[in-house]
Amino acid sequence: MLTTPRLIAIALCAALNVAVGSAVYLVKLPVYLDSIGAILCALLLASHRRVAFVCTLISALTSTLVTGVLINPFLPWFVGTDLTIALVSAFVTSRGADTFRARPMEPYRFGGLVLLYGILTGIAAAIVSAPVVAFVFGGVTGSGTALIVGVLLKSGEQLFRATLTSGLVADPIDKTLQVLIAALLFRATPSDFVAMVRGTPARGATGA
Amino acid sequence: MTPNGAAAFALVAVLAAILGDAVGLAAAGLIVAAFAAIETGARSWAALRRAVLVMLPLAAFMLVIWAGIVGRSPSEIAAGVPGSRTAALAYVAGVAARLFVVVLLVQVVTLRFAEGTPFGLIRRLYLPLGAKRVVVVTLSLIETLRQSIDRAHTALIAGGIVTRTLSLRNAANGWLLIQTVWLTAITTVTARLRDKWPVESTLALLDPALDGAERRLAVRDMVWIGLALAALVIAAAR
Q: What is the mean pLDDT of residues B159-187?
A: 87
Does B163 lie in the same domain as B203?
A: yes
Q: Per-residue pLDDT averaged across B25-45, rounded?
A: 94
> Do B122 and B198 fall within a single domain?
no
Closest-CA distance, B62 to chain A, in angstroms, reads: 6
Same-domain check for residues B206 and B219: no
CA distance A159 to chain B (A): 6
Closest chain A residue to B177, measured at CA: A185
Instruction: Report the number of distinct structural domains present in chain B.
Output: 2
Q: Could you tell me the residue range of the domain that residue B154 belongs to?
A: 129-210
**B109 in the same domain as B223:** yes
Record: contact A5-B193, CB cut-off 8 A: yes
In a domain, A128, yes or no: yes
Question: What spatial distance separates the first Cα and last Cα of chain B, rounded to whole Å?
Answer: 31
How many other C-beta atoms can be found within 10 angstroms of the C-beta atom of residue B175? 12
Instruction: State how far the alpha carbon of A59 is from the alpha carbons of A16, A161, B32, B95, in Å.
Output: 10, 31, 31, 30
Both B21 and B117 in one domain: the answer is yes
Which of A164, A159, A165 is CA-nearest to residue A135? A159
Are B155 and B143 within one domain? yes
- From chain B, the residues in CB contact with A15 under 8 A are 138, 141-142, 144-145, 185
Q: Are residues B86 and B191 in the same domain?
A: no
| Number of neighbouring beta carbons within 10 Å of residue A138 | 24
Contact (CB, 8 A) for A146 and A133 = no
Q: pLDDT band at B224, cuts 50/70/90?
A: very high
Q: Return the C-alpha torsion angle A34, A123, A176, A39, nearest 10.
A: 50
Indicate whether B13 and B108 sit together in one domain.
yes
**Contact (CB<8Å) B65/A73:** no
ipTM: 0.81
What is the H or E stretch that residue A163 is in?
Answer: helix A159-188
Nearest CA in chain A to B67: A150
- Asked if A137 and B103 come within 8 Å (Cβ–Cβ), the reply is no
Is residue A208 one of the residues assigned to a domain? no
Domains identified in chain A, total number: 1
In a domain, A206, yes or no: no
> Which of A1, A4, A12, A25 is the best mutation test for B, with the most CBs of B within 10 A?
A12
Q: Does residue A205 lie in a domain region? A: no
* Separation between Cα atoms, residue B78 and residue B69, nearest integer Å: 17
Q: Which of B68, B52, B66, B53 has the alpha carbon at shortest distance from B94?
A: B66
Closest CA to A121 of A205, A75, A185, A179: A179
Contact state of A158 with B78 under an 8 Å Cβ cutoff: yes
Listed residue (B53, B183, B152, B6) closest to A192, CA to CA: B183
Range of the domain at A40: 4-198
pTM: 0.86
Q: Which of A7, A10, A140 is nearest residue B61 as measured by Cβ atoms? A: A140
Residue B194's closest chain A neighbor by CA?
Answer: A5
Please name the helix (run of DSSP H) or strand (run of DSSP E) that holds residue A130, with its range, or none: helix A107-135
In tens digits, chain A (208 residues) has pLDDT values of 788 899 999 999 999 998 888 777 776 666 788 899 999 999 999 999 999 999 999 999 999 998 888 888 888 899 999 999 999 999 999 999 999 999 999 999 999 999 999 999 999 999 999 999 998 888 888 777 788 888 898 888 899 999 999 999 989 999 999 999 999 999 999 999 999 999 887 665 444 4
CATH number at A53 reads: 1.10.1760.20
Q: What is the pLDDT of residue B44?
A: 95
Residues B222 and B107 in one domain: yes
Q: Does B230 lie in the same domain as B157?
A: no
Sequence-distant (6+) residues with CB within 8 A of A92 are A117, A120, A121
Interchain CB distance below 8 Å, A196 and B190: yes
User: Is A73 close to B138, i.e. CB distance below 8 A?
Assistant: no
Contacts of B175 in chain A (CB under 8 A): 184
Same domain, B117 and B146: no
> What number of other Cβ atoms are within 10 A of residue B237's Cβ?
9
Q: Give the span between the Cα atoms of B38 and B165, in whole angstroms.
A: 47
Rounded CA Rg of chain A? 17
C-beta separation of B34 from A98 below 8 A: no
How many beta-carbon pairs below 8 A join chains A and B? 133
Which site among A7, A27, A54, A64 would you substitute to test the B interface, given the most B Cβ atoms closer than 10 Å to its Cβ?
A7
CA distance B198 to B63: 56
Q: Do A11 and B141 touch (CB under 8 A)?
A: yes
Same structural domain, B77 and B21: yes
Local confidence band at B89 (pLDDT 50, 70, 90 cut-offs): very high
Helix, strand and coil in chain A, % to nearest 5: 75, 0, 25
Q: Which of B54, B137, B186 is the closest to A190 by Cβ?
A: B186
Question: Distance from B219 to chain A by nearest Cα, in Å?
Answer: 25
Name the H helices within chain B: 3-19, 22-35, 44-63, 74-79, 85-112, 118-124, 129-158, 168-191, 197-200, 202-210, 219-237
Is A196 within 8 Å of B189 when comparing Cβ atoms?
no
Residues B48-60 have a mean pLDDT of 92
